[in-house]
Amino acid sequence: MGDTFRRAVYPGTFNPIHYGHIDIVRRASRVFDEVIVAVYENPDKPQLFDVVERIELVERGVIEFSNVKVASFSGLAVDYLASVDAWIMIRGLRVFSDFEYEFRMALANQRLAPEVEVVNFITSERNLHVSSTTVREIASLGGDVSSMVPDFVAERLAMRYAELKKS
């Protein structure tokens, strides 16, 4: 646990990354010396984008922040934090319905690793309604997601749903 250099880990599924995530990364990168965006592999649950694609999209989404790195992890998030010598976990908080889930997860992580501090950033107002689930649903129905995700994510979503329709 370094008191001087503050490394924070922002774990998530990022399926796909959206402006809400990028906003949290931007703000966390101002508060901490280093932020690792950790993409959860989640092999048990099929994802629209596999971990390699999710990492690639996250990397492009956070390219402007010099103190932000991108990695993937499997297993417990607190174990990943220990493996990179970090004790600060970042999570974004959006709407009230997030609160119960985040609260439960923070308490579980606290139980597993009392040394880990969860730091919640309140999502900025313009992204309050943006979630990967909403983005996927809109994109799957051919709707415009350009206000929610960067262009390269919107293009990848359109491509993926076109492929899925063909198959």
Q: Which residues are catalytic?
A: 21, 45, 94, 132
**How many residues at the interface with ligand PNS, by CB under 6 A?**
9
Q: Please list every residue from 70 through 99 that binds ligand PNS, using CB under 6 A.
A: 76-77
Please, what is the minimum distance in Å from the beta carbon of residue 102 to ligand PNS?
8
* Segment interacting with ligand PNS (CB under 6 A) among 28-36, 101-109, 122-130, 151-159: 101-109
Kindly tell me which residue out of 7, 8, 12, 86 binds ligand PNS, with binding defined by CB under 6 A: 12
Query: How far is residue 89's CA from residue 120's CA, in Å, rounded to a whole number?
Result: 8
Q: Closest approach of Cβ 165 to ligand PNS, in Å?
A: 25
CB of 60 to ligand PNS, least distance (A): 18
Residues listed for the chain:
167
164 counts as binding ligand PNS under rule CB under 6 A? no
Residue with Cβ nearer ligand PNS (84 or 105): 105
* Window of 9-17, 24-32, 55-63, 143-151 that interacts with ligand PNS by CB under 6 A: 9-17
> Does 109 interact with ligand PNS (rule: CB under 6 A)?
yes
What are the two backbone dihedrals, phi and then psi, of residue 163, each rounded to the nearest 5 degrees? -60, -45
Q: Is 13 in the site for ligand PNS (CB under 6 A)?
A: yes
Backbone torsion region of residue 83, taken as left when φ is above 0, otherwise alpha when ψ lies between -120 and 50, otherwise beta: alpha
Token pair 């990943």: residue: 80
Tell me which residues touch ligand PNS (CB under 6 A).
Answer: 11-13, 40, 76-77, 105, 108-109
